[in-house]
Structure formats: structure tokens, C-alpha cells
Amino acid sequence: MNDQSSFSDVPLVAHASQAASPVRSLTVSGTLHASGELRLEYRMSAALERVRLAPATCHAQRRDELWRHTCFEWFAGREGEARYCEFNFSPAGDWAVYAFAGYRAARRDAAQRRVDVTTRASADGVLSVQATLDLAAAFDLDAAALAQGRWQCNAAAVIEDVDGVVSCWAVHHPRAQPDFHDLDGFRIALLPRAQPAATTPGAAATGSRR
């Protein structure tokens, strides 16, 4: 894993135990900012007419059990810590954020004003799902604390076809059965993007002058 604040087109793969899916490919890109804001984009190439997608809602809200249908997910924890958070968001706009004390332990709702979700589908069968998360709020950290240590993350998705059959996708599947919570699957390493250095008003620019 390479430490970075941004990553691009990281592939997700279907779990080997599952049947064929209408999905041809699925990738994730993102940037973690110093404020704790994490911007993600999932891009899925598929036979979209075979994918069950809930219609967009004008009143997106926090909602449990999004994973029962087509849902995109993000898992994040700090290196060396057992606790982690799970973010779920539907292409329709609904979302959920949970905090765990350890592997599937002591689940509770995590703080989050909302998760902003934007979904676009193209004529050539590409679905783009963009989400903006507040990692700092979910972990109850300020910017300084957020920047201490490396973040280990996993991107995942549950894709339901029109027959109700689901396939599970992730950056890495460490177990014989799908399990997005296994820390061994957290293969994306992130450090928050540093804030630009402040410039003193009136200070001369460095370098030669022409």
C-alpha cells in the first residue's frame, strides 16, 4: 500500500463464490482532504437494464439496511486501531454511517450531517456514483488528530440484478465468503491532503524576477 491523499480507478472485483453479474467492471477514485472531507466516485460499467436501481429521491435520508439492494460502501479505520466506520450510500441518495468498536462489535450510528450522493448514468452503460463523506465527524476528530497516522480503507459494493440476485464487490476479498468488515481487506492507504501553506500578505515571491 502506498501512502497518498488521492487514488484513481482502483478496481473492485466480484467475490469468487458468486454467479455471473451484469457488471463488466467497477472502479473507485477519491481524495481525502485535510478537513476530513472524503470525495469518492464509483464508476460501474454494466448492462444497466439488468441492474436493479432504486429511483432517485428528492428527500434523501439516513436509512438502515441499504445493503439489501444495490448499494456502494466505504470502510475506514486508522492503522493500529480496532475501531472503524462503515459508510453506505444508495444510488437513489439515501445513506447510513456506522461506527464499530472492533470487528462487527458494538455498532452504533456515527455522526454525519449527511452524505451527499450524485448519480449519473450514460447511454453507453456507465453508472457514476459520487459521494462526499465527513471522515472527521464520523470518528469525532479534529483536523489535527485526523492527520495523525495512516488511514486504511476498503471500497465495496452490493449490486442487485433485476432477478433479485446480488453480487458482492470489493478491492480485496480475504475470506471464502464475502465479508467487507475484515480488516485484511482494507487495502487502500490514505493520508489527508495537506492544507496549502499560508502566505503572508505583501510577501515577495521566491525565485528570480524578470
Position 3 confidence tier, pLDDT thresholds 50, 70, 90: low
Span 70-79, pLDDT tens digits: 999 999 999 9
Structural domain of residue 162, as residue ranges? Answer: 6-190
The pLDDT of residue 149 is 79
Position 194 confidence tier, pLDDT thresholds 50, 70, 90: low
- Say yes or no to pLDDT of 204 above 90: no
- Say yes or no to pLDDT of 175 above 80: yes
In a domain, 201, yes or no: no
Span 88-144, pLDDT tens digits: 999 999 999 999 999 999 999 999 999 999 999 999 999 999 999 999 999 999 888
The pLDDT of residue 195 is 53
The more confidently predicted of residues 80 and 203 is 80
In a domain, 134, yes or no: yes
In a domain, 198, yes or no: no
In a domain, 157, yes or no: yes
CATH of the domain at 67: 2.60.40.1190
- Report the distance separating Cα 122 and Cα 117, nearest Å: 17
Name 126's bridge partners.
45
Q: How many domains does the chain have?
A: 1
- Say yes or no to pLDDT of 202 above 50: no
pTM exceeds 0.75: yes
> Per mean pLDDT, which range of 4-8, 26-30, 46-50, 146-150 is the poorest?
146-150
In a domain, 197, yes or no: no
> Per mean pLDDT, which range of 101-105, 172-176, 202-206 is the poorest?
202-206
In a domain, 151, yes or no: yes
- Report the distance separating Cα 84 and Cα 100, nearest Å: 5
Rg from Cα positions in the chain: 19
Average pLDDT over residues 32-37: 91
